[in-house]
Structure 1
């Protein structure tokens, strides 16, 4: 965890939009105990204060980093951690109403991603519609699978259809494995943010790709954080090995073509100039967007990284704000 204290020195920053930035709605702490319990108590207290804040702390960091707009989402696992379907539906509505109130207090600085009760695809599609049409949200963020149920299941086509019809993206955020693979036994450090979450999320995204979700819904946009959870760097191999071992599956395009077309990414939590250059080279400059992963990563480090990374200024503007403005239909200022 990195935390950057307020500084007195101001500098000219390129304007930015950040997409993977979290908050904690009142009462949702119960869902996050599974991973927050492993954090040092002092760090946890700092995280809790930042997750609950929508004013001085968060806005101050945004100002110092040149972040004009932050798209807020409930920290994980959120409603995906709820065992009861009826409670999940109610909790998603509660979360989204709370978030809408915070956005309304700072409408030029904040936007929202909806929480969805994926325990019930029909209810999730209905809540997405309400959140977008009534609350003005820009899409949804879902914290991975829901109790081991993955969204290539045809039952979720109702959700994908609604996302495409509303022309809003879904941000697929990491979560724990449903059960820890044997290869992780004895290595708790590998399970979670260091490695396991990325493997779980990348695999989920590939299930959607090879499950034909993007063929059925060709205008769908899926966002992956953490520099695409490693997928951009395997595009060539996906084509090569799927051609050799298709296992009876057929796709309308080569696997690599969906990564950059339907799957777009953010830089959240990966402040590596080399990784950024590779992702842009693989996917194109219009498929990569800046993010921080607040409050779990440093806003200052992320801002410094994206401004110093070697790229032409047109590309930097796309990554910092232009792509997000287009995808989320945000008015440029």
Structure 2
């Protein structure tokens, strides 16, 4: 059985070096052998050490946990949305460069590494151009969706052609926290509130906007992957149905929510079992969040969840092969 890790992070150094040359935000700065990403007038992520830029180490770590047949799907993670803070023309050039680097890694590691696209969304025509190049020319297998597009949200009406094209291309949207929203009320405690709860709120609000706006209703073939076992949503689905009476939405929000694919990046077997009960075994994807979390720990949590062999095969392998078209 081929194991597919759908939540894996690796960043090309070339992108960080290019961003370090920028005089304004967003930009990066060197910190030892790694980098720190700065955005929104100097706020930024914790420094990323060298392991984030070492793909060989990442692939070896993944294989050590689940075997040499392990395949990884690489996403932009918290960097989704960084390009949207740049002028559109500059963002276009950097998106092309970033996606080319990801595609080059995919070619160097056929069958073991698959990449997903960074698409700047501040200009719709630019987004469509980058999207078509990333999927049609570079063969990347997904599209990363940020929580915010500058000061806009992901349900902006002008983005309808973008969602229609993603659905037409048959690649999934990947919703991962970005740290770009809710910062004002989540600061302090060594970022403990933001990293523990704020990131789940970030991705959960993004998914709700896709539902409440009718985007998932209008594009029934559009596939969405939400990280971290669905964030906050499966635990409050009943409350969402009770309180969110959306005019023009023909079904309850939970009808669309159950279409979402979620991964197993949740360090608690209770969370995995809850996600399985709510979404169903066909919607769950194995993920490790490397290097934020240990692949061996991710496997241990699944072992503790008492999965049947049929469910294990779906989670570890066949669901992801279908969602990301790895066959």
TM-score strictly above 0.5 = yes
- The 2-side partners of 1:78 and 1:175 are apart by 6
Query: Residue 253 of structure 1: SS of its match in structure 2?
Result: coil
1:148/1:187 Cα in 2 relative to 1: closer, same or farther (>3 Å)?
A: farther
Query: Which residues in structure 2 correspond to 1:165-314 (within 5 Å)?
Result: 165-178=168-181, 180-182=183-185, 184=186, 189-242=191-244, 246=245, 249-261=247-259, 263-268=260-265, 270-314=266-310
Q: Which runs of 5+ in 1 are unaligned?
A: 1-13
| Partner residue of 2:37 out of 33, 38, 43 | 33
1:148 shift after superposition: 2.7
1:99 shift after superposition: 0.8
- The 2-side partners of 1:267 and 1:251 are apart by 29
1:170/1:65 Cα in 2 relative to 1: closer, same or farther (>3 Å)?
A: same
Aligned to 1:51: 52
- The 1-side partners of 2:108 and 2:188 are apart by 47
Aligned to 1:66: 66
| Partner residue of 2:162 out of 134, 159, 170 | 159
1:26 shift after superposition: 2.4
- Answer 1 or 2: higher relative contact order, Cα 8 Å, separation at least 6: 1
Residues 258-317 of structure 1: per-residue CA shift (max 9 Å, x gap)? 1121x211122x121111111111111111111011111111111222234212111111
CA contact (8 A) 1:79 1:92 kept: no
TM superposition score normalised by structure 1: 0.84
CA contact (8 A) 2:7 2:289 kept: yes
- State the aligned residue count: 304
Query: Residue 194 of structure 1: SS of its match in structure 2?
Result: helix
TM superposition score normalised by structure 2: 0.86
1:25 shift after superposition: 2.1
Query: Residue 73 of structure 2: SS of its match in structure 1?
Result: strand
Query: Residue 141 of structure 2: SS of its match in structure 1?
Result: coil
Say if 2:317 is the partner of 1:316. Answer: no
- The 1-side partners of 2:192 and 2:267 are apart by 20
Query: Which residues in structure 2 correspond to 1:59-208 (within 5 Å)?
Result: 59-66=59-66, 68-78=70-80, 80-81=82-83, 82-178=85-181, 180-182=183-185, 184=186, 189-208=191-210
Aligned to 2:21: none
- The 1-side partners of 2:89 and 2:14 are apart by 16
**RMSD after superposition:** 2.2
Query: Residue 6 of structure 2: SS of its match in structure 1?
Result: strand
